[in-house]
Chain A
């Protein structure tokens, strides 16, 4: 087993034992690049992304980059798998489909994910992002990941 894999698996076990999805985010460099954070709220994990100048998209309208919203949802979906399922390697994304429902304004984005199906090889996850209220989502995503 490579050192990096061992560090990852130890990190995953520690994060699950501590009920801290944030500790899983900390294992993935892209998380801190976009500034993604996570916390437990009731029985769900809530992910969020505070506003940050390096996440700006079109500077003509004050908006968060569409790719950042996509990347954030894809990341949240992968963390959801690592946190809630017994998976010990970073899931491989196979496809990703994103609907933009409202503009992502320059303020905090929240997200939550649901694992719809877990098979032996494949997991289907949906992720929803919102800003003002979960009733007015700004984007929804659906992705397939290969595990194992």
Chain B
């Protein structure tokens, strides 16, 4: 792993596992490489989408795949930029089993000057028999004003002061 990824992985882990929606869902970042990310979601009763079967709501899969693809896109950057999602398309192949974790993997398969093309899949027992797969595209919007030190300062602020810091920032 190169130096940039070595710094990047704990930052991404912090952002995903300790703050916001990722923390609420209990996402775990298990692998980060250049253009590749893997994550796990433990089953949670609170996000059931079908009260009859206990299957988690599709929104959880959307969040998982959006996060994994978006994170994979960020690892490709060589300059200060943000990578908003342009679009995301998901196919649900079969329902998830309740009470079992969901694993996802995402990969950037094409990186161009303005757009990154990603695909991701989600599975439980067998990666060859996915519950869903997706394709997503991300813009590269260069932001010279966002420096690494600035990002680290904000992350640190969030970690120490929690979501309050975020709400104050949003109200500015």
Chain B associates with chain A: yes
Taking Cβ atoms with an 8 Å cutoff, the residues of A that contact B are 2, 4-5, 7-8, 27-30, 32-34, 51, 53-62, 65-68, 70-72, 74-75, 78, 89-90, 92-100, 103, 105-107
Shortest Cβ gap from A89 to chain B (Å): 7
Residues in A with CB closer than 8 Å to B169 are 62
Closest residue on chain A to residue B19 by CB atoms: A59
* Alpha-carbon distance between A96 and B23 when the two chains are bound, in angstroms: 24
Q: How many A-B pairs fall under 8 Å by CB? A: 154
Q: Could you say which of B2-10, B64-72, B121-129 contacts chain A? A: B64-72
Closest residue on chain A to residue B48 by CB atoms: A29
Q: Are A95 and B89 in contact (CB under 8 A)?
A: yes
* Alpha-carbon distance between A78 and B67 when the two chains are bound, in angstroms: 23
Closest residue on chain B to residue A98 by CB atoms: B88
Is B58 part of the binding interface, using a Cβ–Cβ cutoff of 8 Å? yes
* Extra A-B contacts (16), CB below 8 Å, given A51-B170, A100-B86: A4-B51, A28-B50, A29-B51, A30-B49, A33-B24, A59-B155, A65-B22, A67-B63, A71-B57, A90-B49, A96-B62, A96-B89, A96-B90, A97-B90, A98-B87, A100-B87
* Alpha-carbon distance between A100 and B82 when the two chains are bound, in angstroms: 14
Closest residue on chain B to residue A2 by CB atoms: B52
User: How many chain-B residues does the 8 Å CB contact rule pick out?
Assistant: 48
- CB-contacts of B80-106 with A (<8 A): 82, 84-92, 95
Shortest Cβ gap from A95 to chain B (Å): 5
Residues in B with CB closer than 8 Å to A92 are 92, 95
Q: Are A62 and B170 in contact (CB under 8 A)?
A: yes
Q: Are A34 and B51 in contact (CB under 8 A)?
A: no
Residues in A with CB closer than 8 Å to B59 are 30, 34, 67-68, 70-72, 74-75
